[in-house]
Amino acid sequence: MTNPFKKFATLLISLAIITFAGALSYYWLSNKPRAVRAPVTAVAPLVEIITPQAIDHQTTVFALGNVIPAQSVNLNSRVDGMVVSVSDQFIEGGLLKKDEEIVRLDPTDYELRVRRAQSDLTQARFNLKMELGQQAIAQREYQLLGQELDELAQELVQRKPHLEAAKASLNAAEASLEQAKLDLERTRTIAPFNAVVTARNANIGSWVSTFSTGTPLVQLVATDYFWIDVSLPLDKLRWITIPGFNSDQGSPVTISYERAWGPDAFRIGAVKRLKAEVEPEGRMAKLLVEVEDPLALTPAKKDAPRMMLGTLVRAAITGKTLVDVLPVPETALHDGNRLWLMNEQDTLDIVKITPVWTEQGVVYLHASELPDHPRIIVSDLSTPVQGMRIRTTETDRTSSAR
């Protein structure tokens, strides 16, 4: 009896424990704590703003250009002969002053021609004097003759044709002497202006002929001025003053060549002329910029950097002045002509604007297009919507203070 009773008691206790555990679990499941959902509040995007002030801005047009000669010439000899002397500066890169002798040919033959021409002139003068004497004798003989003669006979008797021939011979002798002197002078080739030698094709002992027209004796480039052939967009022309186009005086130009001169050196020039044609490939306008004393030869320019023909330089052309404009970073514009503003209600205004000028990453706008003291957004918004609420660190600080 004992064993069945113990088994029954054990079973009864097990059932009681299981029932209690199940009831306890059911209670906890039915009465577990529930999380309270907080109300969702939208957070306005944080933006960065600037408040630019209206200014007057001097525009600058940036362009590239090639340095070219303002004046150049190929000199050829006007007479034949052998080179007997040359200038010490008769070398590529040599500097010549105006009227300086470059090359001299052997003058011997031309000096002899001058002497012969002088002798011929002396003879022609003698012949004219002799004929004048004959004229006086013929006139007296005609008067003694006392006969009426026709016009032709009178001229022959009075030796008028002989006198005209003597005068013509004198004129020819004078012209021959002038030509001989001119040829003698032409044995000296001189510089027509201050110049630098860019090519030479003769040496002492060389024979120079007037028939060698294809090869110049020397090539010269004027050193008083160089030009810069500048290319720039057509829409920039109205901002520049150009002689012969829209003004009497050209815009100042600052020329830099950092590769050779360094970052701080520059030269000053001026717009000289607008060329008649545009660049064939890019349809760009072409300006000539003039630079005085490009090789820095005068004392006034002794510390200036020297320009070199054929180099590509950077030109900063001073343009017209913009009045009452707002400078805005180019990155603040969207779709080319949209600006994001933060209004007084701290909401987004998307406004359409017309850029006046763009220069080195800055866009200039008419101040009249925007409200006073505009707060311009310069940071990005992922989904900008007109009227959406926005905030800045300044508005956050104001809200906290309240």
Single residue among 271, 290, 319 that ends a domain in this structure: 319
Note whether 93 and 195 are same-domain residues. Answer: yes
The DSSP element (H or E) to which 271 belongs, if any, is strand 267-274
Per-residue pLDDT band at 398 (split at 50, 70, 90): very low
Is the model's pLDDT at 32 over the cut of 80?
Answer: no
What distance in Å separates the CA atoms of residue 47 and residue 376, rounded to the nearest whole number? 10
What distance in Å separates the CA atoms of residue 37 and residue 40, rounded to the nearest whole number? 9
Tokens representing 400 are 């906290």
Per-residue pLDDT band at 95 (split at 50, 70, 90): very high
Note whether 89 and 219 are same-domain residues. Answer: yes
Identify whether 31 is part of a domain. no
Are 76 and 217 in contact, with CB atoms under 8 Å apart?
Answer: yes
Is the model's pLDDT at 62 over the cut of 90?
Answer: yes
At 297, the amino acid letter reads L
Is the model's pLDDT at 102 over the cut of 80?
Answer: yes
Higher pLDDT, 84 or 210: 84
Note whether 212 and 330 are same-domain residues. Answer: no
Place of tokens 């080739």: 189
Note whether 193 and 157 are same-domain residues. Answer: no
What distance in Å separates the CA atoms of residue 254 and residue 258, rounded to the nearest whole number? 12
| CATH assignment of the domain containing 203 | 2.40.50.100
Q: Phi and psi of 279, rounded to 5°?
A: -65, 125
Note whether 81 and 218 are same-domain residues. Answer: yes
Determine what percent of the chain is predicted with pLDDT higher than 90: 67
At 85, the amino acid letter reads S
Is the model's pLDDT at 402 over the cut of 50?
Answer: no
Are 76 and 55 in contact, with CB atoms under 8 Å apart?
Answer: no
Is the model's pLDDT at 27 over the cut of 80?
Answer: no
pLDDT, residue 399, reads 36
Is the model's pLDDT at 294 over the cut of 60?
Answer: yes
Tokens representing 126 are 């003698």
Is the model's pLDDT at 272 over the cut of 70?
Answer: yes
Classify 167 as helix, strand or coil: helix
pLDDT, residue 283, reads 83
Classify 264 as helix, strand or coil: coil
Note whether 121 and 91 are same-domain residues. Answer: no
Tokens representing 356 are 């006046």
Are 351 and 395 in contact, with CB atoms under 8 Å apart?
Answer: no
| Mean of all residue pLDDT scores within the chain | 87
Q: Phi and psi of 219, rounded to 5°?
A: -110, 130
Q: Is the pTM of this model over 0.85?
A: no
What distance in Å separates the CA atoms of residue 22 and residue 38, rounded to the nearest whole number? 34
pLDDT digits (tens, 9 = 90+) for 221-261: 999 999 999 999 999 999 999 999 988 899 999 999 999 99
Note whether 391 and 335 are same-domain residues. Answer: yes
Domain span at residue 341?
A: 49-57+323-401
pLDDT, residue 128, reads 84
pLDDT, residue 143, reads 62
Q: What's the total number of domains in the chain?
A: 4
DSSP string, 225-247: EEEEEEEE-GGGGGGS--BTTTB
